[in-house]
Amino acid sequence: MRIIVTGGAGFIGSAMCRYLVGTGGATVLNIDKLTYAANLNSLDAIAGHCQYQFRQADICDRADMELAVTAFQPNAVVHLAAESHVDRSISGSDAFISSNIVGTYTLLEVARAYWSSLTREAADRFRFLHVSTDEVYGSLAEGLFSERSPYAPSSPYSASKAASNHLVAAWHRTWGLPTLICNCSNNYGPYQNPEKLIPRMIISALDGKPLPLYGDGMNVRDWLHVDDHVRALDTILRRGRPGDIFNVGGLNEQTNIAVVERICALVDRRRPANAPHRRLITYIDDRLGHDRRYAIDASKVTSELGWRPQRDFAMGIESTVDWYLDNTGWWKPMTNPSPRRANGALEAGEEKEAGLKT
């Protein structure tokens, strides 16, 4: 397969590129704008591979996207490019509307024109996989989110993702574009940006800094290891039927305080000189519109496609803590970036620094 991955220098996108090239045997074109959350060093493992290409581009630039698609001739597009940080969407939503809504619309139109130009056989094989979030469903008091749950987004981020989901569904229903949608639960694992909860807590604990928790710390999330997620995406891409929607979760509900306390205990064992790290936990005012609980019913993707998560949270979080301890060279430049390395990319002519990367 020839697959375009948008946002392939981000956390989930880079994992998807590494998986498709290293395990899936696909030829991949990674399209990424290289904003602050991107880091090309996450792709070091495949950077020189003959089946991997990179193009720095904005998905909102229709002419550039048309050039990329025409030149690469993909069998599929995996659309992961998105602004995804809730706090940033509250303090400034413009980028979320542009990337998540306008960017998705632009890609859909480019994909539709390309798909319409294909032979019947190639058009039947083509897929557009849109990767979204369980946050489109809002907050959950009890039970689980299913693919039939109504949308009730709480933040500008989740509202922009809900809007993009509606666009993707409409392009399938109106024109027959062979789309797929995946709504996933919270991802974690190696190469995640330090602004996210789990890496932030690991890094702050190592540095002896406060570990800030919103509200009472009892907000619940279903944690999905990024490696399990990309296996699900590959399965959906290859076996899902056009128009299908799948919810993908890790079956690992945890309160935020339980996650942070587990991280502290793991860091205590590995860095006992500064233990107990739990003393660094600090409760702060709750986030505006903070959803209380997310939980995914993944029975559809399990029963229809045979996917299920392979990593339980205890194993996954331990390996994640170890990765951040062993890869300080990757995350330190992201916690104190110079202006020219704010997005992890190097300027032309610079020598690449060793050891650098959802």
DSSP 185-220: -EEESTT--TTSHHHHHHHHHHHT--EEEETTS--E
pLDDT at 340: 41
**C-alpha torsion sign, points 135, 141, 146, 150:** negative
pLDDT above 80 for 350: no
> What are the two backbone dihedrals, phi and then psi, of residue 350, each rounded to the nearest 5 degrees?
-80, 150
pLDDT at 24: 73
What's the rounded Cα separation, in Å, for the pair 257 and 255? 5
Quick check: is 157 catalytic?
Answer: yes
The vertex-302 CA angle with 296 and 308, nearest 5°, equals 80
* The one catalytic residue among 135, 222, 234, 253: 135
Mean pLDDT of 77-91: 92
pLDDT at 342: 39
Quick check: is 83 catalytic?
Answer: no
pLDDT above 60 for 7: yes
- Hey, what amino acid is at 102? V
Residue 42, domain member (yes or no): yes
Domain count across the chain: 1
What is the pLDDT confidence band of residue 338, given thresholds at 50, 70 and 90?
low
What's the rounded Cα separation, in Å, for the pair 151 and 271? 43
Residue 328, domain member (yes or no): yes
* The one catalytic residue among 32, 58, 83, 134: 134
pLDDT above 70 for 345: no
Residue 337, domain member (yes or no): yes
Rounded to a whole number of angstroms, the CA Rg of the chain reads 20
pLDDT at 70: 97
Calculate the CA 108 to chain-centre distance: 19
Q: Are 220 and 145 in contact (CB under 8 A)?
A: no
**Could you give the residue ranges of the DSSP H alpha helices within 208-290?**
226-239, 256-270
Q: Is 39 left (phi over 0), alpha (psi -120 to 50) or beta?
A: beta
Residue 242, domain member (yes or no): yes
* Pairing status of strand 253-255 against strand 220-225: antiparallel
Residue 351, domain member (yes or no): no
Structure pTM?
0.91
pLDDT above 90 for 357: no
CB-side neighbour CA atoms (13 Å) of 209: 10
What is the pLDDT confidence band of residue 289, given thresholds at 50, 70 and 90?
confident
* The one catalytic residue among 19, 52, 114, 157: 157
CA distances from 244 to 138, 175, 305, 337 (A): 21, 15, 11, 41
Residue 357, domain member (yes or no): no
pLDDT at 87: 85
What is the pLDDT confidence band of residue 274, given thresholds at 50, 70 and 90?
confident
Mean pLDDT of 209-220: 94
For 167, the 3-state DSSP assignment is: helix
Specify the length of the chain in residues: 358
Q: What CATH number is given to the structural domain containing 200? A: 3.40.50.720
Residue 347, domain member (yes or no): no
Secondary structure in 3-state letters for 93-118: CHHHHHHHHHHHHHHHHHHHHHHHCC
Q: Are 226 and 11 in contact (CB under 8 A)?
A: yes
Quick check: is 135 catalytic?
Answer: yes
**C-alpha torsion sign, points 216, 217, 222, 226:** positive
Domain extent, residue 304, equals 2-341
Residue 298, domain member (yes or no): yes
pLDDT at 119: 98
DSSP 40: G
